[in-house]
Structure 1
Amino acid sequence: MNAQVIDYEKLQKQVDAHPYPLVFATISGAHLYGFPSADSDFDLRGVHLLPLEQVVGLDGPECGGEDTVEKEGVHDGLEMDLVTHDAKKFFGLMLKKNGYVLEQLLSPLVVHTTPEHEEMKAIAKDCITKFHGHHYLGFAATQWKLFPKPHLSGDGPPRVKPLLYVYRVLLTGIHLMRSGEVDANLLTLNETAKLPYLDELVERKLAGPEKGRLDEADIEFHEREYERLVAELEAAMATSTLPELPTGKDALNDLLVRLRVSNRGTEVAT
């Protein structure tokens, strides 16, 4: 497989140029999911800290500070998409059934970290509930609805890439419901799931556009697999021993207060 090599030094330059102090920055997207092509862009995700004065005074984030920072483009020859949230916004998302932010937080592809990042990772286990399964069911359903459209619009057979995202989401959800652990890597997930067709799909995706399309005969097979895995995730939710409500709110609140106080008077980069 022609997987892309990660140039952490170049990615670190983008982290260093961020306008606010960062708690962490990790790589998400295809690199985290285990099937990056040679030309895949880099999805950088993380948490930043707005200055204390901007979040407690009359001039809050809506009056100058940015609770979400987005930057995309080609930098140092790397195509990248950087999105970070202020700590308060990110912590709020952690307390909802949002598996996406947990995947970012717990990504093993770390560009920038701090002791507070490690503390957040420890608290994350107390934010996982059985209802995170709804996040993965919903995301999979959305992706599946989009999947056949290129074919129906006359753009040729459906591509392999969206199908890999469908399988990745469903296997992540099933694994989370059964183990309480967040794993977003399709290849490692398949070590347990043992779906014999996934390795071939990944190879076809990495081979490029000319091989990254599905044959007509494949579509019905994958539709049956999609329905089977949806049912498996629903069953895993029903029998999961995960709690119904998160218990990490107090710990996150304590961490947020300490982060705000430690960031008092921090100069914003220019």
Structure 2
Amino acid sequence: MEKHIQEVLKQIEIDHKIKILYACESGSRAWGFPSKDSDYDVRFIYIHQKNWYLSIDRGRDVIEIPKNDPISIPIDELLDVSGWELTKALRLFRKSNPPLLEWLHSNIDYYEAFSTKEKLKTLAEKVFSPASCTYHYLNMAKGNYREYLQGEHVKIKKYFYVLRPILAAKWIEKKNTLPPIEFQSLVEDLLPSGALRNEIDILLKRKMSGDELDLEPRIDLINLFLDKEINHLEDYARSLNVHITDPTQYLNEIFRETLEEVWG
């Protein structure tokens, strides 16, 4: 699949007349709890040719490739591909956008060219906003919790899509740094041995072994933990007031350097 992904990325460059700077996995495969039928969530950052940036009508700053898109290379049914144009990515980076920060720290890279990714990773600690990232993870957790885990019978695999953002927010509270991508790293650091940890470990083993994990009785022990942590993290998020130095000057330099590095 990795070779196919790289072929698709190369074709996107040709079809859209762009250069891809970096591409990675951003979904459950990077988080460490894929199912046998999990999508490959490929995300990338790209740059247009110089003249595109000299136009008053620049057009879209996102490329999305639906599975039925008539691209020259057919998209596999498990492949979900989309990318952000560099200046869009830099504006989001300035706001400490958690998905983008996760892309830069993904443990599954599909493609990297030029120096942009490493420059952004070096700057990531300076733009990291505990408040912005905590609210992102907390809102993700609350939305998934309300939608999937409230009935007597729930979509049991959705626990991971609430647990991971909750643990990511707890990591920020504990360490004041960007949380690791891998779910297991969060669990091992933040959850002590005991009944809750056992329930989560069993669920993780079942998911990764290929169990369907569809509708099953709610796991009250995990729900109680989630209720408690959501309330606690809401209080924590409201208490945050951290000043971040404006990185715009550095980001402008990265953009100009990348434009020159890629296109000459």
TM-score range, shorter chain: 0.7 to 0.9
Map of 2:143 onto structure 1: 142
Identity of aligned residues (%): 20
Asked if structure 1 preserves the Cα contact closer than 8 Å seen for 2:149 and 2:158, the reply is no
Map of 1:201 onto structure 2: 203
Map of 1:188 onto structure 2: 185
Asked if structure 1 preserves the Cα contact closer than 8 Å seen for 2:155 and 2:213, the reply is no
Asked if structure 1 preserves the Cα contact closer than 8 Å seen for 2:149 and 2:159, the reply is no
Asked if structure 2 preserves the Cα contact closer than 8 Å seen for 1:139 and 1:169, the reply is yes
Using the TM superposition, name which of 77-86 and 231-240 deviates more. Answer: 231-240
Rounded Cα–Cα distance in structure 1 between residues aligned with 2:214 and 2:180: 25
Map of 2:45 onto structure 1: 47
Report the CA distance shift for 1:232/1:196 in structure 2 as closer, same or farther (over 3 A). farther
SS for the counterpart of 2:216 is coil
Using the TM superposition, name which of 44-53 and 196-205 deviates more. Answer: 196-205
Gaps of 5+ in 2: 69-73, 192-196
Q: 2:78 is matched by which residue type in structure 1?
A: E
Rounded Cα–Cα distance in structure 1 between residues aligned with 2:184 and 2:4: 26
Rounded Cα–Cα distance in structure 1 between residues aligned with 2:249 and 2:231: 35
The Cα of 1:246 is off from its aligned counterpart by 4.8
SS for the counterpart of 1:36 is coil
The Cα of 1:167 is off from its aligned counterpart by 0.4
Rounded Cα–Cα distance in structure 2 between residues aligned with 1:90 and 1:174: 26
Rounded Cα–Cα distance in structure 1 between residues aligned with 2:226 and 2:207: 18
Q: 1:24 is matched by which residue type in structure 2?
A: Y
Gaps of 5+ in 1: 1-6, 266-270
For each residue in 1:90-138, what CA deviation from the matched residue of structure 2 results, as whole angstroms up to 9, or x when unmatched?
1111122421111112112111113221111111111111212111111
Rounded Cα–Cα distance in structure 2 between residues aligned with 1:77 and 1:56: 36
The normalised TM-score by structure 2 is 0.83
Asked if structure 1 preserves the Cα contact closer than 8 Å seen for 2:8 and 2:75, the reply is no
Q: 1:185 is matched by which residue type in structure 2?
A: E
Rounded Cα–Cα distance in structure 1 between residues aligned with 2:8 and 2:86: 19
SS for the counterpart of 1:245 is coil
Map of 2:194 onto structure 1: none
Rounded Cα–Cα distance in structure 2 between residues aligned with 1:76 and 1:101: 23
Rounded Cα–Cα distance in structure 2 between residues aligned with 1:192 and 1:84: 32
Rounded Cα–Cα distance in structure 2 between residues aligned with 1:187 and 1:130: 21
Map of 1:112 onto structure 2: 111
The Cα of 1:165 is off from its aligned counterpart by 0.7
Q: Aligned pair 1:228/2:228, yes or no?
A: yes
Map of 2:123 onto structure 1: 123
Asked if structure 2 preserves the Cα contact closer than 8 Å seen for 1:176 and 1:183, the reply is no
Rounded Cα–Cα distance in structure 2 between residues aligned with 1:49 and 1:99: 21
The Cα of 1:237 is off from its aligned counterpart by 4.7
- How many residue pairs match? The answer is 247
Q: 1:170 is matched by which residue type in structure 2?
A: I
The Cα of 1:67 is off from its aligned counterpart by 0.9
